Amino acid sequence: MTTLQTTTPARLLYLHIGSKEPQRQIDFYERLMDLSCTRYPDGSAVLLGPQRAVRLSPADRSGLLAAAFSLGNTEQLNRLRERLEHQGCATLDTQSPLLADGAFSIRDPQGRETLFGVPSELIEISREGMPGRLQHVVFQTTQLEAVIDFYVNTVGFSVSDNVVDPESGQLMVCFLRSDDEHHSLAFFRGSQDEWDHHCYETQEWNDIRDWGDRFAKEHITLFFGPGRHGPGNNLFFMVVDADRNRLEFSAELQTIPAGQEPGHWPQCEHTLNSWGRAWMRS
């Protein structure tokens, strides 16, 4: 089967976030995430740091507007677009200061927007700051099966792990990869459709400590963790930004070879945090 991992590997490049109070968000990401801000005439801003970026726009409500994935080159990007259109997935030309010409967007069955493109020169500039590469984005959904079918069978993500209710056998969480890393996208079954969190992958456990110390100096309490996830086997903790969006910091995320059969985990606290208590979405 043709997948992103085997033919057109993609990595999460940046998030486009909407905010009712964008200046508060800018202050947070500049101060705590080592991002530098460039403002645009339309009121939007781009914040750039080492291997992470945020595009921020004023909005009626705060939340995620789009997630952008990067491909290695224009040839891979065009190949992906051709395959998506062959699968009956509508693609739309899009422009972004963080993507080179030729970028496009798609929408899933619930309207979430995903961009694909080659990084622009702006995002390729080397920048200093604490290690934390933007690595994955996660959602809650009321239509889990339909969403997973779209991302796997139309877009080409691969399933790394499934989490199922041990009594009913119902799928509760699905972790999807677009390259060798365990997941760049995941979905939880929820009572509403919302952005769950996004994650920054650090280099080692000591980086987790250092990020925790940085938030502690600002009296920002950890939302979840520290702990270790079962699926992905990564160390982690979570905090919230100025709009209460959830950020995860991770280390040692598992890699998965192409073609490996998905793992299966029971829905329980130990699966989501083998060290102790977990944040259970449903």
Give residue-wise pLDDT tens across range 67-83: 999 999 999 999 999 99
Quote the pLDDT of residue 177.
98
Quote the pLDDT of residue 125.
78
**What is the rounded average pLDDT for all residues in the chain?**
96
CA dist., res. 247 & res. 140, Å (int): 15
Quote the pLDDT of residue 185.
98
Asked if residue 127 has pLDDT above 90, the reply is no
Quote the pLDDT of residue 123.
83
Q: Are 175 and 186 in contact (CB under 8 A)?
A: yes
What percentage of the chain exceeds 70 in pLDDT?
A: 100
Reported confidence tier of residue 171, pLDDT bands at 50, 70, 90: very high
Query: What domains appear along the chain, each with residue ranges and CATH number?
Result: 4-123 (3.10.180.10), 133-272 (3.10.180.10)
Asked if residue 259 has pLDDT above 80, the reply is yes
Asked if residue 197 has pLDDT above 80, the reply is yes
Reported confidence tier of residue 122, pLDDT bands at 50, 70, 90: confident
Reported confidence tier of residue 281, pLDDT bands at 50, 70, 90: confident
Instruction: Enter the pTM of the model.
Output: 0.96
Reported confidence tier of residue 62, pLDDT bands at 50, 70, 90: very high
Q: Which of 117-126, 178-187, 266-275 has the lowest mean pLDDT?
A: 117-126
Asked if residue 282 has pLDDT above 80, the reply is no
Q: Mean pLDDT throughout 43-53?
A: 95
Quote the pLDDT of residue 182.
98
Quote the pLDDT of residue 1.
72
